[in-house]
Amino acid sequence: MLLVRALLSVAIVVCGGIVLAEMFASMRMAGIMVLPGTVLGAAMVALGTHRLLLIARVRGILR
Amino acid sequence: MATKSRANPELRRTVTPWGSFSWGYSDVGADIFVGLGLVLAAAAGASNVAFLFAGVVYVCIGLAYTELAATYPVAGGGQYFVMRGLGDIFGFIAGWAVLLDFTIDVTLFAWTSVDYSSQLLPSLTNSIHPWVHFVAVFALVMGLCLLNVVGVRESTAFNGVVSALDVLSESLILCLGFLFAFRPSLLIHAMQFSWPSPYQLMLGTSLAIISFVGLESISQAAQETQRPASIIPRTSVALILTILIFALAYSNLALGMQPWHPITDAHGHHLAFWQMFPNSPDNQGKAVALLAAQVPYYGALAALYVPVLGAILLLISSNSGVFGSSRIAYAMSSSNLLPAIFQRVHRRFRTPAISIVFFSSIAVIELVFAAVPGLFPAAASFYARFFRGENGLDFLADLYAFGAATSYSFVFLGLIGLRLTDPLSPRKFKIPLNIPMRFRGERVEFPIVAVIGFVGIFSILLFTLRTHVLGRIFGPSWLLLGVLLYLAYRRYRRLPVLQSRQRDWRNEQTEILRRSGELELMDEYLANLKESDQRRAAGSSGA
């Protein structure tokens, strides 16, 4: 179960990373309009990282 | 001991981390089902910006609640934090604003639950059969009131299953929507050519905050969670980010969605998805179901089950309004902020029946105000003349936004107050960005995020007062009525009217930590107190 959760968390981080990359790529064309998408990507990366850190603590990898 | 536990029954601490998450999710997660359509109708091409602004404020609010609920794990929520940080009268105002929100919560979510059901049962539609819609919402409110009086409450396990299904379903809708229907160029086009006026953007932003209301549930869960100082920060951060992601993702998807099944108006003109919402209260009340139905491949299936899932989630949230209002009133009554009648428990059912019936009655009055323009054409023309033709859903959303912005503003001030006046309570979770300083001889940390959050939520309160015609009349009227009742009650009971009652916060905090099982934190707190007392004694003897 923990492995599935970890994989899901990695997937969230990867999706967030893709959103961020897309937003940075569109920045020249769209300017400030990419801001909501950038925050969306950052929130996804933060959520995935938060869950991965929790799992690492449960597994004793981190204190 | 047995007598004591009978006289003062405590809540069992049986809520697990997932239970704590799902408790909050079933409350806050339902908000996007209501908020999305309203914001799309108001802010059009800037809906995602409205959600972004409200979302950033919400993250600050969520972090503040997380710190406060982990430090003071009691069910009173915002009113308790504000009362402790700023004093009794401000605690009352915050609690009274939360009570407004809870009663609106009952009506608004029952209303939209019927709207979502109307996707499958069109005879419930408000604009075609207003009386059927009104009777259905009224029956739901009455049914929830009755269930709460006899003591039937949805279990944490049921909340957990519905929340899990909803997270899965929403994730699927968003993933498939972004994969098959989203066009970045369409999003940019919508933002460039459908950018609203500043007035509409303010209106949209003030409505977007209703997608993030319900953080009181974090403190309610804290009361029933074992070792809340450890569990609450873990679940709250995940909850805050999940809700933020859903709100931002839905608004971006709605603006950048190329309809698989082209949406056309009555004249056959092609419409962007967001154009389904202005001037259509029926559509505004079921936006997520309409969006899900437009997702390629999956839409046909989603059209069948998303309305049902949405209706159930909204009904749970409506129930949390009935339950939460009676619980907040109970806590306020225990603190002598409301008359003792709100603490009275029904002999047979052991529930605060008077509170439940009282606040459900207020919810029914709000329902009548909201439904009147749809039911009577003469009233509709009166609303059109004096209230810019606001409809029932607008009326409820106005008051919901007002109540939330008011109570959250006070919670930020309460957090700042508590950081200054109670630096000795151990804080296992602290919101980031603090300035270390000294206050009354103690080392304290001044929270920058609370200031940013306060500025944000206060500006949303100003947007609400500026743009919500009904909200700026009925919201302050509710507060004024409450303050008058509070002053009369305190005077009648011969309690300090504008001052606060003397309380032994040290003993209370020790007891709170002991009851929550945070024994290490209790020891740390006692050690902090001892050290502070010794320092003060040494300082005064030296002087």
CATH at residue B466:
1.20.1740.10
| Site from B25, B245, B246 to mutate, A interface, most A CB atoms within 10 angstroms | B245
Given a cut of 50, the residues of chain B with pLDDT beneath it are 1-8, 11
Q: Do residues B448 and B523 share a domain? A: no
B90-103: string of b/e by CB count within 10 Å (b at 16+)?
bbbbbbbbbbbbbb
- Residue B269: left if φ>0, alpha if ψ -120 to 50, beta else—which one? beta
Tell me if chain B has a CB within 8 Å of the CB of A62: no
Q: Which value, in Å, is the radius of gyration of the alpha carbons in chain B?
A: 24
Residue B5 counted as domain residue: no
Chain-chain contact of B245 with A35 (C-beta, under 8 angstroms) = no
Q: Do residues B130 and B253 share a domain? A: yes
Residue pair B92/B80 in contact by the 8 Å Cβ criterion? no
Mind listing the pLDDT tens digit for each residue in B161-215? Answer: 888 899 999 999 999 999 888 888 888 888 988 899 999 999 999 999 988 887 7
Other Cβ atoms less than 10 A from the Cβ of B12: the count is 8
Q: Residue B127 sits in which domain range? A: 11-503
Give the model's pLDDT for residue B530. 93
Chain-chain contact of B249 with A51 (C-beta, under 8 angstroms) = no
Residue B305 counted as domain residue: yes
| Site from A14, A18, A33 to mutate, B interface, most B CB atoms within 10 angstroms | A33
Q: Do residues B489 and B521 share a domain? A: no
Q: Do residues B417 and B536 share a domain? A: no
Q: Do residues B79 and B112 share a domain? A: yes
Following DSSP, what letter does each residue of B320-370 receive, concatenated? HHHHHHHHHHHHHHHTTSS-GGGG---TTT-S-HHHHHHHHHHHHHHHHHH
Give the model's pLDDT for residue B17. 75
Comparing CB atoms, the residue among B191, B234, B241 nearest residue A33 is: B191
Residue B216, both tokens: 């009181």
Q: Do residues B378 and B418 share a domain? A: yes
Supply angle C-alpha B242, B243, B249, rounded to 5. 90
Residue pair B318/B111 in contact by the 8 Å Cβ criterion? no
Supply angle C-alpha B19, B24, B25, rounded to 5. 95
* Overall number of domains in chain B: 2
Tell me if chain B has a CB within 8 Å of the CB of A4: no
Question: In whole angstroms, what is the distance from residue B29 CA to residue B40 CA?
Answer: 18
Q: Do residues B413 and B534 share a domain? A: no
Q: Do residues B420 and B531 share a domain? A: no
Residue B490 counted as domain residue: yes
B140-158: string of b/e by CB count within 10 Å (b at 16+)?
bbeebbebbbeeeebebee
Question: In whole angstroms, what is the distance from residue B408 CA to residue B461 CA?
Answer: 10
Give the model's pLDDT for residue B426. 92
Decide if pLDDT at A57 tops 70: yes
Other Cβ atoms less than 10 A from the Cβ of B72: the count is 26
Q: Do residues B469 and B523 share a domain? A: no
Give the three-state DSSP class for B157.
Answer: helix
ipTM: 0.92
Q: How far is CA B103 from CA B110, B323, B472, in A?
A: 11, 10, 17
Residue B1 counted as domain residue: no
Tell me if chain B has a CB within 8 Å of the CB of A44: yes
Give the model's pLDDT for residue B259. 62
Question: In whole angstroms, what is the distance from residue B329 CA to residue B352 CA?
Answer: 9
Tell me if chain B has a CB within 8 Å of the CB of A49: no
Q: Do residues B445 and B477 share a domain? A: yes
pTM summary value: 0.89
Mind listing the pLDDT tens digit for each residue in A22-56? Answer: 888 888 888 888 899 999 999 999 999 999 998 99
Q: Do residues B515 and B497 share a domain? A: no
Q: Do residues B469 and B325 share a domain? A: yes
CA dihedral of residues A27, B62, B415, B39 (deg, nearest 10): 70
